[in-house]
Amino acid sequence: MKGRVWRYARRAVQNAMIVVVFAGAFVAKLGEARIYSDLEPVDVWVTRIGPYSNPFESYDFYKKVPICSRREVEHKPLRLGEALRGERYSKVSALQIRFLQREDDALMCEMTLDPQTVADLSQMLIQQYTYEMVVDGLPSRLFLGIADLDAAMLPFGNSSSGSSSDPHAQGSPLLLYTHLQFSIAVNKEKRIVEVALKPKKPVPLHAATSENGEASDLLVAFTYSVEWVEKDVKYS
């Protein structure tokens, strides 16, 4: 009975977490009760993505953002409540995280973004799209990138001073995050008790220009790092 009450209480704490979105690290506490062995794979899941200003507008992540996606995407079985809320968990197979194994700038994938993909991602940055990643039941909400909205909405050939200019000339107003920095806390029982996730390494998002002035493909490398810290947190 005590164990059952604890499971309900822990789930209530997780459900009551206030989700705060910002460009810095997102810290989630109290993981699942799972005990890991050394070097055991730690799955990372991504849920839906959508504009920050409209939480009711959301899309399947990999259908909307084809970043480091594989042809066959594995989906996590849903609980009844998750299914009723329309949630969908897609496994991030490009993240090869193993319990207690440190990673420094590990490569997720290299992608060649064509001009249409760059344009689609640019619109998502302008609309401040956010998405959620889940590690051991702990959610982290992140921005897809950074947008200088004033500069991004400025038409080419016009500037605030009235002179003709290219808004990309002094640097792109749209920056796509290309690195995920995980800091995962574990206790002596080898349970995950906290996850801090921070997006980093923003790169300018605009199509490269060929010699004849036409937009060409943009090569982007996506990476991640993982550090492990020990915390004295016990499960009852």
The string of DSSP letters for 154-165 reads SPTT--TTS---
Tell me the pLDDT of the chain averaged across its residues.
79
Complete DSSP assignment for 175-218: EEEEEEEEEEEE-TTS-EEEEEEEEEEEEE-S-EE-TTS-EE-E
Cα–Cα separations (whole angstroms), residue 93 to 46, 147, 202:
10, 28, 22
Segments of the chain scoring below 70 in pLDDT: 1-32, 75-86, 149-172, 207-213, 236
Helix (H, G, I), strand (E, B) or coil at 16: coil
Q: Tell me the C-alpha distance between 220 and 111, whole Å.
A: 5
What pLDDT, on a 0 to 100 scale, did the predictor assign at position 210? 60
What integer pLDDT is reported at residue 13 of this predicted model? 36
Cα–Cα distance for residue pair 178/219, rounded to 1 Å: 12
Write out the H or E segment, with its range, that includes residue 123: helix 115-126
Listed by start position, the domains of the chain span 2-230
Alpha helices in 27-174 (DSSP H): 61-64, 80-84, 115-126, 149-152
pLDDT in tens, 45-79: 999 999 999 988 999 999 999 899 877 778 666 66
Phi/psi at 10 (5° precision): -65, -40
User: 9's torsion region: left (phi>0), alpha (psi -120 to 50) or beta?
Assistant: alpha
Tell me the pTM.
0.76
Nearest to 173 by CA among 185, 193, 194, 159: 159
pLDDT on residue 132 = 94
State residue 167's pLDDT score: 37
Task: Provide the token pair at 147.
Answer: 């947008």
Task: Look at residue 72 in the predicted model and tell me its pLDDT.
Answer: 76
Helix (H, G, I), strand (E, B) or coil at 223: strand
- Long-range contacts: 52-60, Cβ < 8 Å, 24+? 52/21, 52/127, 52/128, 52/129, 52/130, 52/143, 53/127, 53/128, 58/86, 60/88, 60/90
Confidence at residue 164, expressed as pLDDT on a 0 to 100 scale:
33
CA distance 167 to 163: 11
**Residue whose token pair is 């953002």:** 65
